[in-house]
Chain A
Amino acid sequence: MGLALLIFVLKSIALKTGDDRYDHAARFWIKIFAITFAVGVVTGIPMEFQFGTNWSRFSKYAGGVIGQTLAMEGVFAFFLESSFLGLLIYGEKRLGRKLHWLVSLVLFAGTWLSGFFIVATDAWMQHPVAYASGRDGVVLSSFWGLILNPWTFWMYLHNMLGTVVTASFVMASAGAFYLLSQKQQEYGRIFVRTGVIAAAIASVLMLFPTGDRQGVMIARYQPATLAAMEGLFETASGAPIAILGQPDMDQHKLDNPLLIPRALSFLTYQQWAAEVKGLDAFPHRDQPDTIPLLYYSYHIMVGLGTLFIAVMLVSLWLLRKGRIYESRPWLWVLMLSLPFPFIANTAGWMTAELGRQPWLVYGLMRTADGPSRQVSSGNTLFTLIGFMGMYALLAILFLFLTRREFDHGPEPWFESSEPRTPRSTNVAL
């Protein structure tokens, strides 16, 4: 989703300036996008099936509400994405510049719509609204109530910015890779410049306002989650925020804490002395099940997010000074930063989903009540192991294919005046 935005940006620059290099750059990233999309489609189908196969009681209970957003994703977003991706890949010559640019815009809109409906579905599970009780569970009572769920807004923006951070870090990292290995240097500079600017904007917005607003919502509607995320075991006025520390579940305290006094109270309620409820304020059965995992996920997300801002502000400064392309140590930093946005995104989603526990639908349905009753645990273990193997294979194949594209690089391999020869002919002969 983030890459779709960046491709659109590259296509827009190409259209505006008439600079062919941006078209080549866009074409290169479209290839990466296509590989990622194929992996996304094949792993996305199991996700939809799972609602019925593994979570049938949940589906029966909540299908009346979240079926709407899931079906809308199919009708409005998924068709759009897949149809126009085909056009984007295969249609550049026939469509011409302007139409091809338009196709990249539609693809961008499609992916972001897709994200909206998925986040809206998850937001309803975090903060159920617009429902009434029905025969098998809950049913929808207000369509607009579901779409305009207040939880969706900030979660959606936060999530989409996360995708932009990831894509722009990948782009900057690829640029640094080309500059350091002294090939495709012109494109290396384009990637570093575009990536750094986009990443700097997105990482700042990630923390404020979107991350901050989400924290306030969690404090208000999921207080037990907040306490677990922050590792706050005891209710306190003027509660501190823990920068570091390891939750000790036996003694109910943080080991080796590094605390900023009163900061949590201030961030949550804008008052230094406000009372924040700790885990002791909630019965054990209403606390998240895996507090240490939740605590670490949250801290990894926030810690990395802060580092991203620092890295990108320095990069922006170097870019302004015009020194970034020559500064080898800093290019190494950019190149090696590649995996961290992926880790931060995963940690962020783990925070959201672990934080919702023990609820499947917050306050309405417990996770333990959701799975299919007639599917035995042996069966699910069998398929889980199978999927782990299959996904590991997919990951290897994905890395292999993208690696090949990075080796090729964006430099066109044909003279633009001659008709393009397929890459594979030399092998076929």
Chain B
Amino acid sequence: MATVWYCLVALMIAGYVILDGFDLGAGILHFSIGRTESQRRRVIRSIGPVWDGNEVWLLAAGGTLYFAFPGLYASSFSGFYLPLMMVLWLLIMRGIAIEFRNHLEDNLWRPFFDALFMLASALLAIFYGAALGNVIRGVPLDANGSFFLPLWTDFRTGPDTGILDWYTVLVGLLAFVTLTVHGALWIAIKTEDLLQHRARIIARWAWGAVAILTAAVTLATFRVQPLVLHNLTTYIWGWIFPDLALAGLVAMLVFILRGDDLKAFLSSCAFIAGMLTSAVFGIYPYVLPSNADPRLGLTIASTQTSPYGLSVALVWFIPGMLLVLAYSTFIYRHFAGKVRLEEEGY
């Protein structure tokens, strides 16, 4: 039962990264793709109706994680105190920036909020990657299952590591370029002519960076966290996850070259889902490994809530999420198609 929830939480997180990922990516790019005010407004409008809905996935994923694995939530959120506070600040600033640039008709402040939006989006992408890197590498857990990491030490991955070391920074960069491509493909779907053209060019170049960094991160992961390779060799069926990522990566390039934006975007979704599920599969049965003594790592069993709570929640969770998927699909279809400025909201 707990393993089912392990998978469900992983799916929720993947859902969040895929959905909020494209509007983070669009945020990273709207400055360079949109050079005039009306171009930028078109980029922003492509995520306008959906970005806060996407952000809700973070809340829902957090809520699900909290409910299913309270021990993990308590340990990791307090251990990553300062970085999480920074994430909160970035989320707040990003929300302010997009709201204000839409409401303010002011040539002085609009570019300011645009720049803030770009900066917050870019840093969030890097932070999320670094967070994932920390989870894969493991943290210095004590016997109570708690830890506290400095922001950085000497950038090595040893026992005295900090939140930022060479490995987590590498994963952060991978997340940055991945979401850049993801966002570029979204913009390409939602826009026409010049904007679409620019987005495609960016997607093409950034794809190369994704491919190189993916190879680097994969090799580094095998070195930093031997458990991943161990899991992959023990459970052969687990290759399905990295294979999904690889297939997504290759398909993405094919469709980018063919100019089929929608399929390229879906391939990018598959790539992200494949990468995340590979990571989760790689550290199973841990939810937060220890980087010093494997016995101290937090596992599914040591952090899960009661079996009764887990099974009763399945009864409301499955129909609840199906409902969410149903009306989300409706809404995405409703807003499908290229962005036209005449249909401005208010």
Q: Which of A210-218, A255-263, A325-333, A373-381 contacts B (4 or more CB under 8 A)?
A: A373-381
Give Cα distance in the complex from A369 to B115, angstroms: 43
Q: Which one of B60-68, B186-194, B198-206, B255-263 is at the A interface? A: B60-68
Tell me, in angstroms, the Cα distance from A383 to B107 when the chains sit together.
33
Binary contact readout B327-342 vs A (1 if CB under 8 angstroms, 0 otherwise): 1100100110000011
A422 within 8 A of B: yes
In the complex, the answer to whether B344 meets A139 with C-beta atoms within 8 Å is no
Residues of A within 8 A of B233 (CB): none
Stretch of A77-85, A163-171, A269-277 at the chain-chain interface = A77-85
Which residue of the partner chain A has the closest CB to B342? A419
Chain B's closest residue to A89 (CB) is B345
A105 CB to nearest B CB, Å: 14
Closest chain B residue, CB of each to CB of A397: B96
Rounded to whole angstroms, the CA-CA distance of A205 and B301 in the bound complex is: 48
Known contacts A59-B66, A419-B342; decide if A49 and B74 are in contact (CB<8 Å): no
* B305 in contact with A63 (CB, 8 Å): yes
Contact assessment for A372 and B66 in the assembled complex, using a CB-CB cutoff below 8 Å? no
Are A82 and B56 closer than 8 Å at their CB atoms? Answer: yes
* Identity of the chain B residue whose Cβ is nearest the Cβ of A68 in the assembled complex: B67
Q: Is B88 positioned at the interface, with any CB of A under 8 Å from its CB?
A: yes
- Residues on the A chain within 8 Å of B38, using CB: 428
Chain A proximity mask over B97-116: 1 for CB below 8 Å, otherwise 0: 00110010111000000000
Residue in contact with B77 in the complex, picked from A31, A49, A86, A89, CB distance below 8 Å: A49
List residues of chain B with CB within 8 A of the CB of A63.
66-67, 70-71, 73-74, 305
Given A374-B148, A397-B96, CB of A54 within 8 Å of CB of B78: yes
Cβ contact of A42, chosen from B77, B78, B96, cutoff 8 A? B96
Report the minimum CB–CB distance from A62 to chain B (whole Å).
Answer: 8
Contact B346 A71 (CB under 8 A): no
Pair A71/B313 contact, Cβ less than 8 Å:
yes
Q: Which residue in B63, B70, B346 is a CB contact (below 8 Å) of A48?
A: B63
> Which of A31, A49, A373 is B146 in contact with, Cβ under 8 Å?
A373
Q: How many residues of B contact A (CB 8 A)?
A: 71
**Contacts A139-B308, A375-B148 known; A52 to B342 CB distance under 8 Å?**
no
Residues of A within 8 A of B308 (CB): 139-141
Residues of B within 8 A of A318 (CB): none
Name the distance in Å between A117's Cβ and chain B's nearest Cβ. Answer: 10
Question: What's the Cα separation between A311 and B228 when bound, in Å?
Answer: 68
Cβ contact within 8 Å between B81 and A71 = no
* Chain A residues, CB < 8 A from B66: 48, 51-52, 59, 63, 67, 70-71
User: Given contacts A45-B58, A427-B107, is CB(A76)–CB(B320) below 8 Å?
Assistant: yes
Q: How far is the CB of B89 from chain A (nearest CB, A)?
A: 7
B81 touches A53 (CB 8 A): yes
B95 within 8 Å of A (CB atoms): yes
A94 within 8 A of B: yes
**The residue from B62, B81, B106, B146 contacting A74, defined by CB atoms under 8 A apart:** B62
Interface contact B52-A386, CB-CB below 8 Å: no
Report chain B residues within 8 Å CB of A420. Answer: 342, 344
Q: How far is the CB of A234 from chain B (nearest CB, A)?
A: 42
Of the candidates B92, B305, B313, which one forms a contact with A139 in the assembled complex, judged by CB atoms under 8 Å apart? Answer: B305
A201 to chain B, nearest CB (A): 30
Chain B residues near A56 (CB-CB < 8 A): 73-75, 77-78, 146
In the complex, whether B158 has a CB less than 8 A from a CB of chain A is: no
Chain B 298-322 near chain A by CB (<8 Å), digits 1 or 0: 0000000110110011001100110
Q: Tell me if B250 is interfacial: C-beta within 8 Å of chain A.
A: no
Instruction: Given the known inter-chain contacts A49-B62, A64-B309, A83-B328, please indicate yes or no for A75 contacting B316, CB distance below 8 A.
Output: yes
Q: Which residues of A contact B61 (CB under 8 A)?
A: 74
- A212 CB, min distance to chain B CBs, angstroms: 33
**What is the CA–CA distance of A252 and B134 in the complex, to the nearest angstrom?**
54
Task: Judge if B254 is at the interface, Cβ distance under 8 Å.
Answer: no
Return chain B residues, CB-CB under 8 Å to A86: 48-50, 52-53, 331, 335
Query: CA of A75 to CA of B342 in the docked complex: distance in angstroms?
Result: 34
> Which listed residue, B64, B103, B306, touches A140 by the CB 8 Å rule?
B306
Nearest CB in chain B to that of A144: its residue: B312
Q: Which residues of the other chain, A, contact B71 by a CB distance below 8 angstroms?
A: 60, 63, 136
Taking a contact as CB atoms under 8 Å apart, the answer to whether B334 and A94 are in contact is: yes
A414: min CB distance to chain B, Å: 11
Given A35-B99, A75-B316, A375-B81, A390-B92 contact (CB < 8 Å): yes
Residues of A within 8 A of B95 (CB): 38, 41-42
- Is the Cβ of A52 less than 8 Å from the Cβ of B77? yes
Contacts of B41 in A (CB 8 A): 424, 428
In the complex, chain A residues whose CB is within 8 Å of the CB of B220:
none
Contact B92 A394 (CB under 8 A): yes
B238 at the binding interface (Cβ < 8 Å)? no
A167–B99 Cα distance when bound, in Å, is 22
Which residues of A in the span 389-429 have a Cβ within 8 Å of any Cβ on B? 390, 394, 397, 401, 404, 419-420, 422-424, 426-428
Q: Say how far B320's CB is from chain A's closest CB, in angstroms.
A: 4
**Looking across the interface, which residue of chain B has its beta carbon closest to that of A35?**
B99
Give the residue name and chain of the B residue nearest to A83 (CB): B53
Determine if B59 is an interface residue (Cβ-Cβ < 8 Å).
Answer: yes
Q: Give Cα A72 to B37, complex, Å.
A: 41
One of B84, B89, B324 near A75 (C-beta < 8 A): B324
Once bound together, how far apart are the Cα atoms of A87 and B95, in whole Å?
A: 18
Q: List 7 A-B contacts (CB under 8 A).
A: A38-B52, A45-B58, A45-B92, A59-B74, A75-B60, A94-B334, A139-B306
Contacts A62-B70, A83-B53, A86-B49 known; list 4 others, CB within 8 Å.
A30-B346, A63-B67, A71-B63, A373-B146
Which residues of A line the B interface, CB within 8 A?
A: 27, 30-31, 35, 37-38, 41-46, 48-49, 51-54, 56-57, 59-60, 62-65, 67-68, 70-76, 78-80, 82-87, 89-91, 93-94, 132, 134, 136, 139-141, 143, 372-375, 379, 383, 386, 390, 394, 397, 401, 404, 419-420, 422-424, 426-428
Interchain residue pairs A-B with the least CB separation, the first 5: A63-B70, A52-B77, A67-B67, A74-B60, A139-B306
